[in-house]
Amino acid sequence: MSLLDALARMEAVACGRARPVATVRHRHLAEHPLVLVPLTTAGENGAPLGVMLGTEPSAPTILTVAQPRDRDLRFAFLGRLAEAVLPHLESCQDEVELVERKETDPESGKRVTVETELCTDAPQLLVPTGPGVDFVRLLGRSTRFRRTAEEDPESEHPAPPRLPLLGRWLSHYGERARVPGSSLLLSMTGLLTRHWATGQSQLEDQHLGALLAWLAPPEGATGAEAALRAELGRDGRGRLLVPPAGPATDPAFDNELLAPALTRYDRGVPGAEEEVHELVATQLRPTWEAMWEGAGMLRTLPEAEHVPDRWRRDRQSYTHHRDRLRAAEPPQPRKDDAVTAARKLAMREQRQAELEAQEALDDPLVMAVRRLAGEAFFAEVLEVEMAYSQGKRPSPRPLVTVHTQDAPLLTDGDKLHRRLPEGGQQRAELVEMAGPGELVLRLVNGMGRAKEPAPGTVPRKGDLVCWTLFEHAPRGGPGLPEPEETPWTHGGPPGERSAERPDPVTSEDVL
Amino acid sequence: MTPSLPKQTPPSGAPEPSGASGTSSGPGASGPAAQGAPPAPAPAGASPRRLAELRGGPDVPHKHLDARALAALAANPGCRRRALLDGAGVDKSAVAQALGSPAPFGQSQFALVRGNAFEARVKADGGEVLLALLCEQVGEARPEPAQVVVPDLTADGPAGRVERTRLALAEVPEGRWALLDHPWLSLRVAGSTAYLEPDALAVHPDGSLSIIEIKSFPILDGAADTVKAGAAARQSAVYALALENQPRAVRESALLVCPKDFSNLPAAGLLPLRKQIAATRRQLRRLTRLEEIAAELPDGLHFAPTQEPEELAAAVESVPATYAPECLSTCELAFHCRQRARDAGSVVALGRSVRGELGGLATVPDVLAAASGDPDSAASRDPAAALLRRAAALRAEALEDAAARGRAREASETGAVRDAEVG
């Protein structure tokens, strides 16, 4: 945790409510996100208990499983889930814009410009917590290899028709959520903690109810008091006042209420199915409301400048997946081959560096963290002296003397970056430390091709300029080989990809 | 519940405590402490009598340390409160309940049922499945089921079961496989005996031992949850430490058996233990010895949950705690300690990592005073104060900047509305 974030937490402790750690919204928030609140059955991997979903706070759909261990009921539930979620996930497939993209021509090896489709929007999925994101990934993994009756007529337990498709979409969203700065699938706790600091630890912030208690404590209560009530408060029947945001349920709820209801269902008691449904719904509703409350808070922040750029990448990712589905490619493999895995990692590292730079540029409060760390500084221009490079065609290399009150960690020759008023960026080098806080910089690019610098590209005396030690658009490392050229050290070429087999069925899954 | 005292302890002249559970209660303790003299820090650890006193008398049930508690204790070795209460066998969850901050721990019966069903399934057929998984992982030939020794480990009381396990391990003939189902091990920790019950132990034909841990979280596509696998490794490391006082060598990797993917079929993997053993050993040695902590407590002080809440709170307060938010998931008293830490304004309540750049400033008011640059405050003279003042200034500047931009935006929006109305 940075010192500034720690300070914000202490301010929150002192004033009894959350304090901002961002002044703009750093993630895309769709006008109508699909909010998904899942619950699972304890002890079983990926056995859903119920879900509440919808794009409007007033119109949720509640789906539940009356007996989570019954395979047929589970499939019926997942089939209904697919019918509820897929229309949203497929809603942006057909509205496209044409964009130009550089591509290497496979025959000539030249870079050519091709026109491709890009969906103008992409559906967004919001879940309550980090484990909720994992659960989306797990649901995708557990359903994408299933076979429908059409694919495998012999199967004793065929999957509902659109379930494997849902699995592939959820797998894609789950995988995309690992990319720093992506916004296709986000957790509410992640979103809120990015923008506000509470007076509790990061660990406690994972509890959505406690987090919201700090953000909007009720009249007359401090955040800490409200959060404690959200964590531990129980009603007369021993139920938590604020049930966990899932996907795990409260063990006391399982033992005292759910287990007897399931037993009644197993015995065939009339009305037991509705009872289970209503019980699960009581655990879902508070989280559902919390989700929309959180979304409303996020909307009070203006969107950061670079968010549309990053959202464009999410749209690209969505469009690519649409294309793979349309090309009838097999489902995502269980494990990536070596080159794909290395590419994904390299891409995520690059996105992380980019995200850090963009958030700092968009938000003075994030830039303050970098300034305190000596990775950026504000400086006033004291003097500008024109100079030229030594070469056949001398180019402008003005020397700019600046004064800063920040404490950047610099040595001679270090590269510095700044944003130009007209957009674009400019690089400079540190020539010398002239005195305490006084630096002489040499501008090295961003001034046009002419002998005289383009107007507005050289700061003037008295200007206040923010310089960073980090690049604004960091580049990734060198390219990686094609999968068929995987070196033997990494297992060699993966060979022909065969369709993966579905997971085996075990007798114990059936009640 | 059974007391931790081994039956062999020579009886002393002191009156015997009436055991809570007749069959296995051992008599009280060694001489001096029992005579009411100040407890001498004996190398053998705190006397069982002293520990019983701390629990609130011989009638208060003794809660044994288990491997999970030991692993959690090793994760926060500086906490004297936890070391003492766990070591003395105090039922912390009853204490937390009495203090009004009950621990929200519990296990869902669904998880319990499923976990037990899985373990029973894996251990069915005399452990054939388990040994097959083990052989597959370590690359040894599978034994014929008839060739595997499966000793009976039933015995009375923890000490008896530990002894029975020891004998069973010694009796395995050379060159044979053996599988011990739920053996009992003992380990002396900070002057108290902990009894441990691994899921299973396997004896290889070469005479070495493998620890087997059966867990109910899945191995999905060959990978398990790192946090849960890490906890299983720490737990196994505790077993490995407990196995050090017997002649057989313990293999450096434990076998982790979990459900495969979404099924109830077993999948296995090897858990390397070397680092975990070294780390756990070091942490357990760092635990302040119980008798040292106990010696600092006034006579007559005890932790029986039945006493008046104020007295109990005072008793708990007399042993210093080292609270960190990580405690919330492992210690029953964590919510009580958290409240105390918050009341005291401790910065660690916000996370251990917060402390890093705060120098000697340990409370929130001190940090805020130092950050505000209040010259009258002692906190402002802390070496960390300059950095804090700078951080506070940067934060205020950025917030002011953002507020100004917000006002500008609002103004332009209302301006646009006015223009629209005019137009």
pLDDT of residue B418: 58
How far A14 CA lies from chain B's nearest CA (Å)?
8
* pLDDT over 90, % of chain B: 25
Nearest to A251 among B108, B114, B342 (CB): B108
Question: pLDDT tier at B105 (50, 70, 90 boundaries)?
Answer: confident
Write the DSSP string, A107-137: TT--EEEEEEEEES----EEESSHHHHHHHH
Region B17-37 average pLDDT: 37
Contact between chains at B221 and A43 (C-beta distance less than 8 A): no
Is the pLDDT confidence value at B43 over 60?
A: no
Nearest CA in chain B to A377: B394
Is the model's pLDDT at A369 over the cut of 60? Answer: yes
Q: Given this model, what pLDDT does residue A6 score? A: 92
pLDDT per position as a tens digit, A264-309: 999 999 999 999 999 999 999 999 999 999 999 999 999 999 999 9
All CATH 3.90.320 domain ranges of chain B, comma separated, are: 109-285
User: Which pLDDT score, from 0 to 100, does residue A507 have?
Assistant: 57
Q: Least CB-CB distance to B402: which of A6, A23, A255?
A: A23
Task: For residues A381 and A379, give the distance between their C-alpha atoms in angstroms, rounded to a whole number.
Answer: 6
Residue B265, burial from CB neighbour count under 10 angstroms (0-12, 13-18, 19+): middle
The residue ranges of DSSP E strands in B227-376, in sequence order, are: 253-259, 266-272
- Per-domain residue ranges of chain A: 3-334, 362-468
Q: How confident is the model at residue B171 (pLDDT cuts 50, 70, 90)?
A: confident
Which of A122-126, A286-290, B50-54, B111-115 has the least mean pLDDT? B50-54
CATH class of A362-468: mainly beta
Distance from CA of A226 to the nearest CA of B (A): 13
pLDDT score of B390? 92
Q: Distance from A301 to chain B by nearest Cα, in Å?
A: 10
The residues facing A101 across adjacent strands are: A114
User: In residues, how long is chain B?
Assistant: 423
Q: What is the pLDDT of residues B263-281, one digit of tens each?
A: 888 999 999 999 989 988 8
Q: Do B395 and A14 touch (CB under 8 A)?
A: no
**Partners of residue B374 in chain A, C-beta under 8 Å:** none
Mutate to test the interface with B, among A13, A78, A305 (most CBs of B within 10 A): A13
Residues of B in contact with A368 (CB under 8 A): 394-395, 397-398
Tell which CATH architecture fits domain B109-285. Answer: Alpha-Beta Complex (3.90)
- For the ranges A79-93, A103-117, B139-153, B405-419, the one whose mean pLDDT is highest: A79-93
User: Taking CB atoms and an 8 Å cutoff, what residues of chain A touch B218?
Assistant: 45
Q: How far apart are CA A25 and CA A17, in angstroms?
A: 19
pTM, to two decimals: 0.88
What is the per-residue pLDDT for B19?
35
Looking at every residue in chain B, the average pLDDT score rounds to 81
Residue type, A403: H
Using a CB-CB cut-off of 8 Å, the residues of chain B touching A144 are none
Q: Could you report the per-residue pLDDT of A155-196, keeping only the tens digit for each?
A: 777 888 899 999 999 999 999 999 999 999 999 999 999 999
Q: Averaged over B57-72, what is the pLDDT?
A: 80
Please calculate the CA angle A49-A51-A53 and round it to the nearest 5 degrees.
Answer: 175
Average pLDDT in the B93-122 region?
87
CB contact under 8 A, B351 and A231: no
User: What's the confidence (pLDDT) of residue B4?
Assistant: 39
Residue B2 pLDDT more than 50? no
* Chain A residue numbers touching B121 (CB-CB < 8 A): 508
The percentage of residues in chain B with a pLDDT greater than 70, rounded to a whole number, is 86
Q: What digits encode the pLDDT tens for the residues A33-49? A: 999 999 999 888 878 99
Q: How far apart are CA A366 and CA A26, in angstroms?
A: 11
For residue B8, pLDDT beyond 50: no
* Residues A217/A225, Cβ–Cβ less than 8 Å: yes
ipTM of predicted assembly, 2 dp: 0.87
Cα B360 to the center of its chain, rounded Å: 29
